[in-house]
Structures are given as structure tokens and as C-alpha cells.
Amino acid sequence: MPKVLISRHLGADAMALIAENTFQIVIWPEDRTADRAWLLENASGCQGILVTLNDKVDEELLSKAGPSLKAVSTMSVGYEHVRIQELASRSIKLGYTPDVLTDAVADVAIMLALMAARNAAYGLSIVQSGGWPNVGWAPFGFCGPQLGPGPTTKSFTAGFLGFGRISQATLRRLIPFGVTHAVYTDSGRGRRTEDEDTAFVEQYAAFGQLKQLKWVSLDELAAESDVVFLLAPGGESTRHIISTPFLQKMKKTAILVNPGRGTLVDSDALADALDKGWLYAAGLDVIEGEPNVTTEHPLVKSPRATVLPHIGSATTETRAAMADLAARNLVAGVLGEPLPVEYMMH
Ligand code: GLV
Ligand code: GLV
């Protein structure tokens, strides 16, 4: 009977889907991230492993599992926690959960951009601490930059590090805000053509004022954008791509939004840049070193940073769809069938 290792209970429906098979199911019994030692102890001889982004899938875990392992399934679109090359060299398949979370994450990207620009967290803290009667309504109270051209300017540029599905969904949401230009840069994975960019603009022209979508360099992204969304994969090749040189080139009124991966940003450099006023504010759903982010963290302490605890995909519907897909990827992998959604390594 094939053994499967599951690092977290993913809800009754997903678990039932796995239990329909004659598998030996070994599941971490607690409702918190599995202890690493427990995973290593229980991996031996398994044919499938199901993880969340909290679990490192590395050489050590794969060696413990041994040659029986056919597939790893992660309940995430990101795969920074998975050593892709180690899987590839062992011909182990990787299942992941893109698409089903695109809209939920794009929603949070917009929420963070608005929260950061409009000082929403600060406003909430004033209300909750009983301070509203003191501050009242002031002509310039709580003011921040408008997300969009506003009444006095003609253009507004949205920038994207990475222009995959989530970035595209975020841009679609921004079109009714009046975005006129969109710029992006990416790692070259599936590089877009100018024709595709023109087609995107034409497709959505009727819903707003988007005139142009184009690839730019990282420096141009920093200099031209009024809001920058970080939606590139994490990992060594993108680590701290957003650091002092980038932040220094940003507009003073710009907003930086990170719904992607914490490692993209040098946290100390960002806290320093916010402090110096190189950009206006940051909205972060992820931070390097999460979840060990305390009130002592420079970005939590920064009055210009809005920090949320990695809730991008956290709608009931989306998480259920992710759990379902993760379960189906696991089952297919163990049965030697094509995975419903396989990460293609190259
Ligand atoms: C969330 O961050 C994911 O990768 O699914
Ligand atoms: C990226 O933005 C993705 O959905 O892969």
C-alpha cells in the first residue's frame, strides 16, 4: 500500500479525497506547522508528500523519503520552499496550486495598495484607541497619494515585478482606477511579446484609460511607477532584488506593495527608505523571515508600512480550492497519473 506523508490537515473534503484511495496516510496530527523532525522521521518509503509553504522540501527530506518518492504536492502557488533542482534530478513531480488563488491574491494586492496609500492602518488605530474625537476631520488629515491619476494629474503608472497571472489580474483591477500606463519587468520565464502587450491594452481599453503596457528595466520600473507590485517568484535569483539602489530611484509619492515573497525585499533597506521618505509607503503581505515577525521588526515599527500576516489567498473559497487541488495532485502523483496541475521544471 503506497504511503503518503501529509504535513497539515487540509480540511475534511480534501482529506476524504485522499482517503478514497488505499493509501497508508501519515498525517501530522496538530493544527500547526509540522515539526521538521517529525517530517524527517516519517518520510521513509513514502510515494507522495503533501506540504504547505511552511515546510522545506530539500535534499535532506527527499533523501529520507528515498527512491520510492514519486510526487510532492504543495498547497501554494509559490515554490520557494521546494528545491526544484533536487526534485528534477530525482524525476520527482511537483504539483502546485496556481490559478485558483489568482483573484484572491490580486484582491489583497489592491487592498494593500489602498491601505498603504490612504493610511488606513493608522486611521483604524486612531479610531480603536479612541482618538477620533481629538483629530476630528482636518482638511489635510490622513492624506496620502491617490491610487490613480486623481483630479489634477493626467497619468498614473502601475509597475510590476513579474508579470504572471496575479500581476495581470491586479492590473485588470486597477484599470477602473484610471491607470494610464503599466510597466513590468520579469525574470524572462515565458517572456511576453510586444504584440501580447498591445493586445492586453486593446482588450481592456473600454474599461479605463490604459494606453500602454510595456517591458522596462528594473531601474525604469523604480523610476516610472506610481505603485509597484512585487509578484515574482522568490528564491536565490531574486533575493533582495528590492534594496537601496531600487528604493532610491522610486518616486517620493510611490507605493510599494509586496503580495509575493518576503525574500524579494531587503527589509532593513525598505524600513530605512521609508524613514528617509524615498517612497511614500509600503503594503506588505509577506516579510522575509515570516512568521517570526514581531513588534520589534523595523517594518512593523515603521509608521509607513502596512503589514498583513500572509493572507493573500485567504478566502474560504480559494483555500478550499487550493486544498482540493493539492489533494488531487498528490493522489495523481502517487497513482502515476498526470497531475491536474504540475509545475514544469526547466
Ligand atoms: C502563497 O503565498 C502561495 O504561494 O500560495
Ligand atoms: C504569478 O504571478 C503567477 O501566478 O504565477
Q: What is the 3-state secondary structure (H, E, C) of 39-108?
A: HHHHCCCCCEEEECCCCCECHHHHHHHCCCCCEEEECCCCCCCECHHHHHHCCCEEECCCCCCHHHHHHH
DSSP 201: H
Domain assignment present for 163: yes
Quick check: 143 pLDDT over 90? yes
Give the pLDDT band of residue 345 (cuts 50, 70, 90).
Answer: confident
Quick check: 190 pLDDT over 90? no
pLDDT tens column, 19-45: 999 999 999 999 999 999 999 999 999
Burial class (CB in 10 A: 0-12, 13-18, 19+), 138: exposed
> Does residue 310 have an active-site annotation?
yes
Domain assignment present for 341: no
Exactly one of 9, 297, 310, 346 is catalytic; name it. Answer: 310
Nearest CA to ligand 2 atom 4: 165
| Beta bridge pairs of residue 6 | 27, 50
Quick check: 191 pLDDT over 90? no
Quick check: 92 pLDDT over 90? yes
Best probe residue, ligand 1, of 308, 313, 315, 325 (max atoms within 8 Å of C-beta): 313
- Residue 57 three-state SS: strand
Burial class (CB in 10 A: 0-12, 13-18, 19+), 54: middle
Cβ atoms of 49 and 69 within 8 Å: the answer is: yes
pLDDT at 188: 66
- Whether 156 and 179 map to the same domain: the answer is yes
Ligand 2 near 98 CB (within 6 A): yes
- Whether 143 and 248 map to the same domain: the answer is yes
Quick check: 346 pLDDT over 70? no
Amino acid in position 137: W
CATH code, domain carrying 225? 3.40.50.720
Average pLDDT, stretch 157-163? 97
pLDDT at 75: 98
- Whether 14 and 130 map to the same domain: the answer is no
Q: Which ligand is nearest to the CA of 97?
A: 1
- Whether 106 and 93 map to the same domain: the answer is no
- Whether 192 and 321 map to the same domain: the answer is no
- Whether 95 and 187 map to the same domain: the answer is no
Give the pLDDT band of residue 186 (cuts 50, 70, 90).
Answer: confident
- Whether 189 and 270 map to the same domain: the answer is yes
pLDDT tens column, 309-336: 999 999 999 999 999 999 999 999 999 9
Q: Which three cell numbers stand for residue 107?
A: 484582491
Domain assignment present for 159: yes
pLDDT at 187: 67
- Residue 48 three-state SS: strand
- Residue 256 three-state SS: strand
pLDDT at 15: 97
Quick check: 107 pLDDT over 80? yes
Please choose, from the candidates 13, 57, 14, 49, the residue with its C-alpha nearest in 3D space to the C-alpha of residue 28.
Answer: 49
Sign of CA dihedral 49, 7, 112, 279: negative
Q: Which three cell numbers stand for residue 265?
A: 525585499
Burial state string for 259-278 with b = 16 or more CB within 10 A and e = fewer than 16 = bbbbbbbbbebbbebbeeeb
- Whether 296 and 147 map to the same domain: the answer is yes
Domain assignment present for 346: no
Please choose, from the candidates 23, 13, 3, 62, the residue with its C-alpha nearest in 3D space to the C-alpha of residue 327.
Answer: 13
Domain span at 15: 3-99+316-335
The alpha carbon of 129 and the centre of ligand 2 are apart by a number of angstroms equal to: 38
Quick check: 192 pLDDT over 70? yes
The contacts of residue 120 (CB under 8 Å, 6+ apart) are 114, 306
Mean pLDDT, rounded, of the chain: 97
Domain assignment present for 143: yes
Ligand 2 near 53 CB (within 6 A): no
- Whether 144 and 205 map to the same domain: the answer is yes
pLDDT tens column, 219-255: 999 999 999 999 999 999 999 999 999 999 999 999 9
- Whether 28 and 58 map to the same domain: the answer is yes
- Whether 184 and 198 map to the same domain: the answer is yes
Quick check: 216 pLDDT over 70? yes
User: Which residues form ligand 1's pocket by a CB distance below 6 Å?
Assistant: 53, 76-78, 101, 312-313
Average pLDDT, stretch 286-304? 97
- Whether 76 and 188 map to the same domain: the answer is no
